[in-house]
Amino acid sequence: MLSTADALATLLGAASPIAGTESIPTLEALNRVLSEDVVSPLDVPPMNTSSMDGYALSTGDLAHGNRRFPVSQRIPAGHAPEPLKANTAARIFTGATVPPGADAIVMQEQTEAAGDDVTILHSPKPGEWITVQGADIRSGSIILPAGTRLTPQALGLAASVGCAQLHVRRRVKVAVFFTGDELTMPGEPLKPGAIYNSNRFTLRGLLENLGCEVTDYGIVPDKLDATRATLREAGEAHDLILTCGGVSVGEEDHVKPAVEAEGRLSMWQIAMKPGKPLAFGAVRRTPQQTDAVTSDETFFIGLPGNPVSSFVTFLLFVRPFVLRLAGVRTVAPRALSLRADFTQNKADRRNEFLRARVNPAGGLDLFPNQSSAVLTSTVWGDGLIDNPPNHAISAGETVRFIPFSELLN
């Protein structure tokens, strides 16, 4: 059996960013991936600004003991100042440009206005309450490197240097289908022996969270012909075909022979729990002009059908694979070291990914039922404990915890 680390390395080794890019409005670029560095064409702030409401003055003018100054100008934000006249102060407001000749701001609470004069009750240091031009961003510097996934704050940063358009990669196109004659859609009556197709909702949501363009072929019957036909159709216009269920080696599992007939397949038994079987390969397609990674094949990943297994294997393998295709630089989730507030005496031979959640004391509680069919655990939990093979957990021990906040974006 393959280790989780080796399986991930093999997957990521095969994935490289798709070639297609486009230029889109910054306002519409949330969650997209930059295909080029964003370089600032200006300093931010573009001038020296006051960070307080108060008075701008020259600290040199205070050196002779003078404390009372005529107010020679008024500078609201958004208005260009005159140079400061010697031995005067300028009324100034937050965000306004500091006038040439002034080197400090005294906040208004430390002054007393008297007619057209102001009395300064504080001795400022040079530079006090002044945000210097370029303090945040220097003109010419890379503010967002290629491969950045655009968060709301990244969009704000791009906008702060005046970028109205951004160069991004096109969305990754994923085809998805579900195998299993027992599967029924919510809204339909449940016949004897049937279950609802919960994975369709989970996996669609996960793919959409990643910004993929999803084609959903729905439920494909447990038949070789039908599975092959869907693979052929899906292969033509996608970067990745994702399937769920039917990847074991039972007589009703047709995904494996179908992919072998339509392309090539590696079936992996990964030493992990939940999730053991994972299939990886590619489906042939008509060679064409394309901006995909390869021109004559579409990647294939087959997930196990058990709801928790497909969820966890998606998070650990499909997520980084898709992010890599999307051109994202950093695809590994950041893990935390947290205290286990439970004991698990039984060590498993496989690498376990246990559904757990952070308690108010900052430790981790374990969901009592870790079966791969119990979807409740994935909603109750707020992350996965990555427990190495052959390792029992004692209360108080520090474990590796991967929060869902790192995996579900």
Q: Which residues bind Mg ion (CB under 5 A)?
A: 180, 245-246
Of 120, 129, 123, 124, residue with least CA distance to 98: 129
Per rule CB under 6 A, is residue 101 in the interface with ligand AMP? no
First to last CA, the chain: 29
- Rank residues 246 and 275 by Cβ distance to Mg ion and give the closer one: 246
User: Smallest gap, in angstroms, from Cβ of residue 150 to ligand AMP?
Assistant: 32
Cis peptide before 274 (omega within 30 of 0): yes
- Rank residues 280 and 401 by Cβ distance to ligand AMP and give the closer one: 280
**CA dist., res. 378 & res. 101, Å (int):** 62
Write the burial class of residue 287 (CB in 10 Å: 0-12 exposed, 13-18 middle, 19+ buried): exposed
User: Smallest gap, in angstroms, from Cβ of residue 9 to ligand AMP?
Assistant: 24
- Rank residues 133 and 309 by Cβ distance to ligand AMP and give the closer one: 309
Q: Using CB under 6 A, which of the segments 39-47, 111-119, 239-247, 287-295 binds ligand AMP?
A: 239-247
Strands 277-284 and 351-358: unpaired
Contact status, residue 157 vs residue 42, Cβ threshold 8 Å: no
Partner from ligand AMP, Mg ion, none contacting 114, C-beta within 5 to 8 A by type: none
Of 79, 77, 59, residue with least CA distance to 69: 59
3-state SS, one letter per residue, for 32-59: CEECCCEECCCCECCCCEECCCEEEECH
- Rank residues 116 and 251 by Cβ distance to Mg ion and give the closer one: 251
User: Smallest gap, in angstroms, from Cβ of residue 371 to ligand AMP?
Assistant: 11
- Site map (CB under 6 A) of ligand AMP, residues 306-325, x = contact: xx------------------
Per rule CB under 6 A, is residue 244 in the interface with ligand AMP? yes
The two tokens of residue 19 are 């070639």
The two tokens of residue 224 are 């070789």
- Site map (CB under 6 A) of ligand AMP, residues 153-182, x = contact: -------------------------x-x-x
Q: Which residues bind ligand AMP (CB under 6 A)?
A: 178, 180, 182-183, 195, 197-200, 244-246, 248, 304-307
